[in-house]
């Protein structure tokens, strides 16, 4: 089952709040201001992550000679925004109506250096991204160790060492899985739980799978249905879960 494709921390913010309402409830506004290193006269790009059509270009933002930028945004319902410093390097923001978001970071490595305040849900998104960054760094270290072992150890010694790095890799996955699961438990009803549910592991793998973790998918939907049932992201996700639920029911084998 494919969820929102968003790529996509240390501080734990155990709060919940309502999602912006359904489309058509009126325009909600937010502001974004920041200072980025290595961003002098650089253009940033902002996209909306729509529920059903993926990323859609919204606007471009020009930084001044000091790397400072300002942006005023609007939305008809709470939604995700990607802020790009390059094609592959971006962060995900989740503003609420009236948020005044402030951020810092390095435009050359935005996803691993940015900090954000003034938007509680965007801080939750930063929290998830920090978990992902920690995991990626740990896996990178394991990969480097494995490569060094391959080049310096005998074949027999390498097999033993490789078994250990494989074990550490699986342990890292389990650690990240638990962090994301705790995040989902701590933030019911936040759209950020959709991002946590679809968070990547080792860039391309997933942490949660429909077949083995469907109760978690249902848990996320229950929270969203309670807090923001009319938000288009909730509606789109609800449809996917209902389809998966129906498909699973047709595949059940009843043993009498």
Same domain, 193 and 138: yes
Burial of 24 (0-12, 13-18, 19+ CB in 10 A): exposed
- Average pLDDT of the chain is 89
Q: How far apart, in whole angstroms, are the C-alpha atoms of residue 70 and residue 55?
A: 21
Helix (H, G, I), strand (E, B) or coil at 77: coil
> Does residue 212 come out as left (phi exceeding 0), alpha (psi in the -120 to 50 range) or beta?
alpha
Domain shared by 110 and 135, yes or no: no
Place of tokens 């699973």: 248
Domain boundary (50, 85, 118) is at 118
Which tokens in the block code for residue 241?
A: 């879960």
90 and 143 housed in the same domain = no
Tokens, residue 65: 């000679």
114 plus 178 within the same structural domain: no
Q: Please report which confidence band the pLDDT of residue 184 belongs to, taking 50, 70 and 90 as the band edges.
A: very high
Shared domain for 67 and 142, answered yes or no, is no
80: CATH: 2.60.40.180
- For residue 79, pLDDT over 50 is answered with yes
Inform me whether the pLDDT recorded for 10 exceeds 70. Answer: no
The answer on pLDDT for 17 being more than 50 is no
Are 186 and 232 within one domain?
Answer: yes
| Residue 86 · residue 93 · CB < 8 Å | no
Q: Cβ–Cβ contacts within 10 Å for residue 47, how many?
A: 18
Domain residues for the domain of 172 are 128-250
Instruction: Decide which of 118, 140, 158 is a domain's last residue.
Output: 118
The per-residue pLDDT for 248 is 77
Name the pTM for this structure.
0.86
Counting the structural domains of the chain, the total is 2
For residue 182, CA distances in Å to 101, 124, 131, 164, 179 come to 25, 13, 12, 27, 5
**Is the model's pLDDT at 59 over the cut of 50?**
yes
> Could you tell me if 226 and 146 lie in one domain?
yes
């Amino acid at each position: 089952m494919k969820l929102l494709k968003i790529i996509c921390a240390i501080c734990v913010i155990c709060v919940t709040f309502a999602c912006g309402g359904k489309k058509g409830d009126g325009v909600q506004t937010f502001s974004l201001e920041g200072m980025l290193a290595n961003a002098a006269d650089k253009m940033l790009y902002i996209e909306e992550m729509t529920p059903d059509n993926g990323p859609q270009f919204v606007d471009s933002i020009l930084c001044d000679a000091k790397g400072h930028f300002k942006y005023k945004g609007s939305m008809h319902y709470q939604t995700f925004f990607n802020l790009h410093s390059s094609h592959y390097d971006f962060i995900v923001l989740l503003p609420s109506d009236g948020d005044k978001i402030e951020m810092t970071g390095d435009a050359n490595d935005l996803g691993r250096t940015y900090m954000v305040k003034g938007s509680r849900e965007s801080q939750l998104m930063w929290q998830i991204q920090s978990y992902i960054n920690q995991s990626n760094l740990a896996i990178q270290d394991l990969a480097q160790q494995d490569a060094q072992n391959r080049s310096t150890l005998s074949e027999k010694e390498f097999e033993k060492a490789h078994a250990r790095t494989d074990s550490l890799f699986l342990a890292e996955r389990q650690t990240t899985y638990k962090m994301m699961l705790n995040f989902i438990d701590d933030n019911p009803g936040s759209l950020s739980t959709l991002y946590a549910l679809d968070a990547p592991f080792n860039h391309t793998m997933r942490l949660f799978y429909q077949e083995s973790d469907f109760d978690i998918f249902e848990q996320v939907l229950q929270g969203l249905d309670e807090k923001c049932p009319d938000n288009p992201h909730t509606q789109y996700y609800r449809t996917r879960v209902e389809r998966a639920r129906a498909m699973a029911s047709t595949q059940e084998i009843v043993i009498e």
